[in-house]
């Protein structure tokens, strides 16, 4: 498989993928995509009004007391003074909102190696937007498949995948208004079930990146630096994964 023409790949990352390609470890037909929130290196106290209105002089310049009760805050009106690229986001209903980035992976299904990464602002549609960017960078013109969870089961995403000659093997969200965008023409195939089984492997990548690579809470500020660190960590994961695969075959 040719390497994806991703702007975020460094020469070192591309070299790792090249090694995997030469060893026949990469699939060029079947992929999985997913995203996760990466907590930003900025405190909630830094999340303040963009226009500076209602600013109260700090009682302690080093660690001011901040009272947000009764104040309506959103990413449209507020931003972090420490890291303006970070956005307030939550993992799900009832979860605590935190200043975050959205980290995304494209993983091939043969051995679970990461073939592309994207970090977007956590704006609510970042996972699907980043997925389309990475899918568009897959080289070649033949039909490929992509697995994903229910978050990708939207009419717009499914339609864009098909425009890119990508067969969407995403999980059906039967509770979505209007029903799932994936019908029996897709789910009846054996390949769909295989993609749904393989897609869970991407969680191993995120687990390693957040624990071993210490990306649960990023140590850099700004989208460019966070993306660089995320991509570098993905390359390190691939090296370890390739070593483990070599051990299994000896």
Over residues 166-190, the pLDDT tens digits come to: 999 999 998 888 889 998 889 999 9
Domain assignment of residue 192, yes or no: yes
Domain assignment of residue 232, yes or no: yes
**Percent of residues in the chain assigned helix, strand, coil, to nearest 5:** 35, 20, 45
Tokens representing 39 are 């907590």
Tokens representing 175 are 């509770």
Distance between CA atoms of residues 244 and 98, nearest Å: 35
Q: Has residue 58 got a pLDDT over 90?
A: no
pLDDT, tens only, 79-104: 999 999 999 998 877 788 899 999 99
Instruction: Tell me how far the alpha carbon of residue 149 is from its chain's centroid.
Output: 12
- CATH number of residue 217's parent domain: 3.30.420.10
Q: Going by C-beta distance under 8 Å and a sequence separation of 6 or more, which residues neighbour residue 115?
A: 1, 4, 17, 26, 31, 106, 107, 108
Domain assignment of residue 224, yes or no: yes
Number of domains in the chain: 1
Write out the residue range of the structural domain in which residue 149 sits: 11-41+100-248
pLDDT value at position 4? Answer: 47
CA dihedral 150, 156, 157, 158 (to 10 degrees): 80
Q: Are 234 and 13 in contact (CB under 8 A)?
A: yes
Domain assignment of residue 65, yes or no: no
Domain assignment of residue 198, yes or no: yes
Maximum CA pair distance of the chain? 66
What is the overall mean pLDDT for the chain?
A: 88
Domain assignment of residue 2, yes or no: no
Q: Around 220, how many Cα atoms within 13 Å sit in the side-chain half-sphere? A: 14
Please give the model's pTM, rounded to 2 decimal places.
0.86
Domain assignment of residue 220, yes or no: yes
pLDDT value at position 5? Answer: 43
Of 123, 162, 125, whose CA–CA distance to 146 is shortest?
Answer: 162
Q: Has residue 124 got a pLDDT over 90?
A: no
166 bridge partner residues: 144
DSSP single-letter state for residue 2: P
Q: How confident is the model at residue 56 (pLDDT cuts 50, 70, 90)?
A: low
Domain assignment of residue 84, yes or no: no
């Amino acid at each position: 498989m040719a390497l994806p023409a991703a702007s975020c790949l460094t020469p070192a990352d591309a070299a790792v993928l090249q090694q995997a390609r030469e060893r026949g470890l990469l699939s060029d037909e079947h992929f999985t995509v997913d995203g996760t929130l990466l907590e930003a290196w900025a405190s909630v106290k830094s999340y303040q009004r963009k226009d500076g209105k209602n600013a109260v002089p700090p009682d302690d310049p080093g660690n001011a007391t901040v009272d947000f009760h009764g104040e309506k805050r959103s990413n449209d009106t507020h931003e972090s003074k420490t890291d303006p690229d970070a956005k307030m986001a939550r993992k799900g209903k009832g979860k605590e909102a935190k200043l975050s980035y959205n980290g995304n992976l494209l993983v091939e299904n043969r051995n679970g190696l990461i073939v592309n990464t994207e970090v977007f602002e956590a704006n609510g549609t970042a996972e699907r937007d980043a997925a389309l960017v990475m899918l568009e960078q897959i080289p070649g013109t033949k039909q490929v498949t992509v697995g994903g969870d229910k978050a990708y089961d939207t009419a717009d995403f499914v339609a864009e995948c098909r425009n890119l000659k990508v067969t969407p093997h995403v999980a059906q969200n039967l509770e979505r208004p209007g029903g799932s965008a994936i019908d029996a023409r897709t789910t009846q195939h054996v390949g769909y079930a295989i993609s749904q089984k393989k897609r869970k492997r991407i969680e191993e990548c995120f687990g390693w990146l957040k624990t071993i690579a210490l990306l649960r809470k990023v140590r850099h500020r700004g989208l460019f630096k966070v993306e660089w660190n995320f991509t570098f960590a993905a390359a390190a994961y691939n090296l370890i994964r390739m070593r483990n695969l070599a051990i299994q075959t000896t």
